[in-house]
Amino acid sequence: MLRVKNPVLPGFHADPSILRVGNEYYIANSTFEWYPGVEIHRSRDMVTWEKVASPLSEKRLLDMDGALASCGIWAPCLSWSDGLFYLIYTNVRSWNAGAWKDTPNYLTTASSIEGPWSDPVYLNSSGFDPSLFHDDDGRKWLVNMEWDWRKTGSHQFSGILLQEYSTEQKALVGPIQKIYPGSEIGMVEGPHLYKKNGWYYIFAAEGGTSYEHAMSVGRSRCLTGPYEFHPHNPLLSSYGHPEIRLQKSGHASWCDTPDGRSYLAFLCGRPLPGTLDCVLGRETSIVELEWRDDWPYLKPAPGEELFPSGAVRNWPADSFEPPVILDEYRKKGEFPPATKSIEYRFDGSAIHPDFKNLRTERDPEVYSLTSRPGFLSLRGGQSPVSHWGQSLLARRQTDFSFSAETKLEFAPTSFQHLAGLCWRYDETNQYLCALTFDENLGRVLKVLTFVDRQFMHYDPVPVPGDGPVWLGLTVQVDSGRFRYSPDGKTWRILRPVLSAAVLSDEFGGMGFTGAFTGMFCIDTLDYTARAYFESFKYTVL
């Protein structure tokens, strides 16, 4: 039996919201401070997933200038009704700053998943992780977790709120009701409502976002509750099973296939061997559900039975049977890998959707494919610790071992001019390989490291002449090294050895993203220097 190996969306793809419309499946993921906002993939078989243009690509829809790391887009919800896609999202403006969180929630719609998306409708700010439920009587209901600043610890997650949404008024209307307190696990968030066989079901994340993460289920005959807990709560969690590959499992959503099978998309993390550090961030995996007595359960893998104690498996399997298996897969006897090597060229009309920038709409004068045809031109921006105007274009790290290479043309005339290759988590934890200028040596390469807000830079390496320079990064599981070449053939390795663990949620103490690699240009002199990148190559090792 052919089975798809998890995760289906490797690398930083947190908080999946899965949806089926007709014969197509969609998954929307959080993007936090990365722009454009909300990552969307679609598939016809849950095996291969195609990236769709991110919907929040204009400042009218999303502006995160000044947002701290791991603010921005939290847990979007994608739904479909009345011939429209409904996208609900939070633009978190502050968090992890004592008792308070600022979490304005918005709604935008589109008749096509490619857009255009409507001007955002402001909904509320009472908590984050909003989700829209379309009842079979035509009414629409918003649920979100409530944040109570008066309380401490997990009690600030004070339950799930419900309020009706009026499409005519484009506003929330009627009373606010607290319908679900969460289980004893605590920290209830990420709610989704569903209806099946006359039952209302609430799926909610609990236990925080790390190794105690879980997803609980409740059901009720009435939308407003009370909701009884699943007899084997939580439905999904990796907690207590350090031996399995997919850790941190939780925050999930469900959809049915046209023939009535049920699948659950959930987030998980894969730590570096022997550590708790998930450099790839929180990823998206899928499991099939089965129903017993109108309750969902994880469908056992082939050969699995109920355990002798009567307990039910609630930790995720490494793989699942997809709803559709194409003949080409049957002939090969395997599915294609979830990641692949790719060389990006910049001779087209648009930047590849794998690349993201930080916090706000791309200025075409800063990110240009036309100022020098065949090249990506980056105009120098603010420093690598700025939350406002960095000129940076990067893609997710999706593999434990990979290499990244770029061909750069850059003529710095000041030490305040830097351009090159980055490997980063956020402003406080990142590595740069920068072509810059030294008053005594001329053009030089320098490695800059930012580790837990401690900045270091290493001895300059002279780069004679003014021609192109090839820069590379090779990562082997837990460590990486920058390298450079004057001709793209002969490479010199640069010091130091770089720890991959630094680029994880766990290292920083609290964060929600993952490692990226890409290109940057800095000009803290006057924002006019330009760097030209002819290509960028990502190779799975």
Q: Which residues are known catalytic residues?
A: 15, 189
Distance of CA 155 to the CA centre of its chain: 26
DSSP class of residue 465 equals S
In Å, what is the CA distance from 290 to each residue of 21, 232, 301? Answer: 21, 14, 12
Q: Is 195 helix (H, G, I), strand (E, B) or coil?
A: strand
Of 201, 196, 193, 192, the residue nearest 227 (C-alpha): 201
Residue 6: both structure tokens together: 């998890």
Phi then psi for 505, rounded to 5 degrees?
-55, -40
CA dist 42 and 19 (Å) reads 9
CA dist 182 and 436 (Å) reads 54
Given phi > 0 = left and psi -120 to 50 = alpha, else beta, which region is 83?
A: left
Element (H, E) at 522: strand 516-523
Amino acid, res. 354:
D
Phi then psi for 411, rounded to 5 degrees?
-125, 75
Beta carbons of 266 and 251 less than 8 angstroms apart: yes
Q: Is 69 helix (H, G, I), strand (E, B) or coil?
A: coil
Q: Please, is 21 exposed, middle or buried when counting C-beta atoms within 10 Å of its C-beta (0-12, 13-18, 19+)? A: middle
